[in-house]
A and B are shown apart, each in its own frame.
Chain A
């Protein structure tokens, strides 16, 4: 039966997974250094993945084009050579298949890290993530863990085509059983990736594409903070602005511009949007009395809405003005030619800060 079915095309090589295992490189590539080095986020993520794979043989990578190519963003570059095709799996082109088989591998004791190639391509795997991955532990009454990381490059500012610039994090933050994080800088990317892989819960790891290439200082010896700890990245006294991922650099630019005009803005990097660490936010609001939440995602039923509601519930008397949101509009992500009108800019953030302060 099976021998009558021809699957290989004459003249073409056998698919690599059917061939002998690829022998790992004799000398594994070293991490980029041992102290503090300057790396783009792609390389910091790569270093985090490499460290996690060295630390735990159960960690494996799955995704489309992540093997010899190293992923379309090269985040997994060199890992196929170091760890071979049993730890870095180039999968068939099917997102539900990637997530669904990752669940099976997790039941078997593995810690799969799945790459979704672009934000807009996660939806074919949405059912496996929300109906299966997120609930497996709960359905098993705590008898299993689901240490699966799903890496999703996301967000705009890269001038790309439809389905390549989206911010779908709210869908996942709304789903019980998932953890959702997003680093804003290379150093956080390095340690947050390792923390996400070490977590016994599924973690949706949103990587801000527009921050993939700018370099930043990465301390390779720093084990980082708790995965879900938000952080004050710039101190200020007049207003608090909060965001995650690529928005953090927009907020820092806004704070810089405001400082010139004499307005002191405190900037908070959420780092995690499920759960949200409200401690630093509430402490900051106590100081400033004004809060603006910014995000690339659509504002309707969003992380910004959630933070606005929660801060209002928990700190109503600390507020001197309504919490304001700055978001992508509630439209499909537009053609790239007009994306700058869609995406929150430093000026749009400052417009909201001004409204809050003049209340």
Chain B
């Protein structure tokens, strides 16, 4: 468990009770809040509520046999919504596999995520048509290197660090406390620091890698690792959507301005299971869960909005919208069709490959032999 008093390095803007009470460490990030309007605040809240409702619906679909697996994001909404809104349209986002609302904010239809988890595709969407939100990557931390290479390409293209934040590009890559132990995560930090890529590493420390606590991954707070690689590291209260927004906005804009990469460690909590195949009651202390549930990111931000005078009707309308959203997702998820068997062979190679062609032709002949024939 992580306490975050005002003197701690952890950047926090909202107290767990939803009171605006910035930590001392938050000072350099406060100006970034000026970019937000009340309409943005309402969007933050709306998206957090909607994705949690979507998350529940998707888990239900899995329990009802409609999905092979579901990967809950319950508890991590503030870290994801704040950081996603800090990106600019020209940025590229490399997710792990739990960043559903980041994709939604970048323009992805979450039913496309369900297509992958229903087993009808290995990908699900075209990044360039969906806010440069790249495909989920299931082998932990592999995407950190893809993100770094992509950011190197931005540099080679001269598409960053020209001095115009409206067009200069940057990359944000999401990974977690478990993935931070992977070699690829560390090699990505080495390459990013070496080439000074325009890139933010957004590490969601949700405290659990399936059943293994973060204490097994690291003896030191993960944000401190950044210094060893030669880049700034900032720890934030990941259940504070405003801290997530402001810190990510600063580091992304620094990156796009040519100041190189940075690492953000967002302290949050995986309230649900790792996936629907997991049973956290076998390894987690209920008191720890209760501690974090009491620091729920949505409850916190709702309290803050209520303090600002946001009317009850808005909050109720959001709940209603979330229910409608989930119902729509359910309806469309049940309507996902299986692909033709040609997907087995399509797109293994870009150019003709005799072995693949031969095997596809064989399968066609073999299956045709059963149709109305005497085979």
Report if A and B associate in a common complex. Answer: yes
Chain A interface (Cβ < 8 Å from any Cβ of B): 1-2, 5, 7, 15, 17-18, 60, 86, 91-92, 94, 96-97, 99-110, 124, 127-128, 131-132, 135, 137-143, 145-146, 176-177, 179, 199-201, 275-277
B301 shortest CB reach to chain A, Å: 27
**Are A110 and B153 in touch, CB under 8 angstroms?**
yes
Q: Given A1-B232, A177-B348, A201-B350, are A96 and B145 also a contact pair (CB < 8 Å)?
A: yes
Known contacts: A102-B149, A141-B347. The answer to whether A97 contacts B190 by CB under 8 A is: yes
A124 CB → nearest B CB, Å: 8
List 14 A-B pairs, Cβ < 8 Å: A5-B231, A92-B187, A94-B191, A97-B148, A97-B191, A101-B149, A104-B146, A104-B151, A109-B153, A132-B139, A141-B122, A179-B353, A199-B350, A200-B351
Q: A101-B188, A108-B149 are in contact. List 4 more A-B contacts (CB 8 A).
A: A94-B190, A97-B190, A127-B139, A145-B350
Residue B142 lies at the interface, judged by CB distance under 8 Å to chain A: yes
The reply to whether A100 and B123 contact each other, CB–CB distance below 8 Å, is no
User: Which residues of A are found within 8 Å of B123, using beta-carbon distances?
Assistant: 139-141
- Size of interface on B: residues with Cβ below 8 Å to A: 53
Contact in complex: B194, A15 (CB < 8 Å): yes
Residues of A within 8 A of B230 (CB): 2, 5, 7
B157: CB under 8 A from chain A?
Answer: yes
Contact A5:B350 (CB < 8 A) given known A100-B148, A101-B148? no
* B196 contacts partner chain A, Cβ-Cβ < 8 Å: yes
B residues touching A (Cβ–Cβ < 8 Å)? 121-123, 126, 128, 134-135, 137, 139, 142, 144-154, 156-157, 183-184, 187-188, 190-191, 193-196, 227, 230-234, 259-260, 262, 343, 346-351, 353-356
Q: Give the shortest distance, in Å, between A3 (CB) and chain B (any CB).
A: 9
Is the CB–CB distance between B149 and A105 below 8 Å?
yes
Chain A: which residue is nearest B135 at the CB level? A139
- Among B153, B190, B355, chain A packs the most CB atoms within 10 A around the CB of B153
**Is the CB–CB distance between B157 and A108 below 8 Å?**
yes
* Pairwise interchain contact B145-A104, C-beta atoms closer than 8 A: yes
Expressed in whole angstroms, the Cα–Cα distance for A108 and B146 within the complex equals: 10
- Taking a contact as CB atoms under 8 Å apart, the answer to whether B259 and A105 are in contact is no
Q: State whether A104 touches B142 (Cβ < 8 A).
A: no
Q: How far is the CA of A76 from the CA of B145 in the complex (A)?
A: 24
The complex places the Cα of A18 from the Cα of B144 at a distance, in Å, of 22
B242 to chain A, nearest CB (A): 20
Complex contacts, B196 vs chain A, CB 8 Å: 17-18
A160 vs B346: C-alpha distance when bound (angstroms): 43
The answer for the CA separation of A18 and B191 in the assembled complex, in Å, is 12
B161 to A: closest C-beta gap in Å: 13
Contact B153 A141, beta carbon cutoff 8 Å = no
Does A275 lie within 8 Å of B149, measured CB to CB?
A: no
A15 to B233, CA, bound (A): 22
Contact between B122 and A139 (Cβ–Cβ < 8 Å)?
Answer: yes
Q: How far is the CB of B260 from chain A (nearest CB, A)?
A: 7
Pairs A-B, 7 closest by C-beta atoms: A104-B149, A100-B145, A108-B153, A101-B149, A97-B187, A142-B347, A200-B350
Task: Give the docked Cα–Cα distance between A100 and B24 (Å).
Answer: 38
Q: Which residues on the A side are within 8 Å of B232 (C-beta)?
A: 1-2
Q: Is the CB of A141 within 8 A of B149?
A: no
Contact B146 A100 (CB under 8 A): yes
Instruction: Kindly provide the distance from the CB of B43 to the nearest chain A CB, expressed in whole angstroms.
Output: 29
Shortest Cβ distance from B184 into chain A, in angstroms? 6
Question: A177: which B residues are within 8 A, CB to CB?
Answer: 348-349
Q: How long is the Cα–Cα vector from A15 to B196 in the complex, in angstroms? A: 12
- Residues from chain A with a CB closer than 8 A to the CB of B347 are 137-138, 140-142
Question: Which residues from chain A contact B187 at a C-beta distance below 8 Å?
Answer: 92, 94, 96-97, 100
How close is B226's CB to chain A, nearest CB, in angstroms? Answer: 9
Please give, as numbers and ranges, the residues of chain A lying within 8 Å of B151 by CB-CB distance: 104
Contacts of B190 in A (CB 8 A): 92, 94, 97
Contact of A110 among B126, B148, B156, B346 (CB under 8 A): B156
Which of chain A's residues have a CB closer than 8 A to the CB of B152? Answer: 101, 104-105, 108
What residues of chain A lie closer than 8 Å to B139, measured between beta carbons?
127, 131-132
Complex contacts, B146 vs chain A, CB 8 Å:
100-101, 103-104, 107, 132
**A52–B296 CA distance with the chains assembled, in angstroms:** 56
Report if A2-B231 is in contact (Cβ < 8 Å); known contacts: A100-B187, A100-B188, A142-B346: yes
List A contacts of B343 (CB < 8 A).
141
B259: chain A residues at CB < 8 Å are: 2
Least CB distance from A307 to B in Å reads 13
Would you call B122 and A128 a contact (CB within 8 A)? no
A105 & B150 in contact (Cβ 8 Å cutoff) = yes
Report Cα–Cα, A80/B297, bound state, in Å. 52
Known A7-B230, A135-B122; contact A108-B150, beta-carbon cutoff 8 A:
yes
Shortest distance between the CB of B90 and any CB in chain A (Å): 13
Query: Which among B126, B150, B157, B230 has the highest number of chain A CB atoms within 10 Å?
Result: B150
Q: How far is the CA of A56 from the CA of B95 in the complex (A)?
A: 31
Give the residues in chain B near A135, CB-CB below 8 Å: 122
| Residue from the list B145, B153, B156, B227 in contact with A128, Cβ < 8 A | B145
Docked Cα-Cα span, A103 to B142, in Å, equals 10
CA of A301 to CA of B248 in the docked complex: distance in angstroms? 50
Whether B191 contacts A275 by the Cβ 8 Å rule is no
A341 to B183, CA, bound (A): 38
Give the docked Cα–Cα distance between A129 and B193 (Å).
Answer: 23
Contact of B150 among A104, A179, A200 (CB under 8 A): A104
Chain A residues with CB below 8 A from B134, complex form: 107
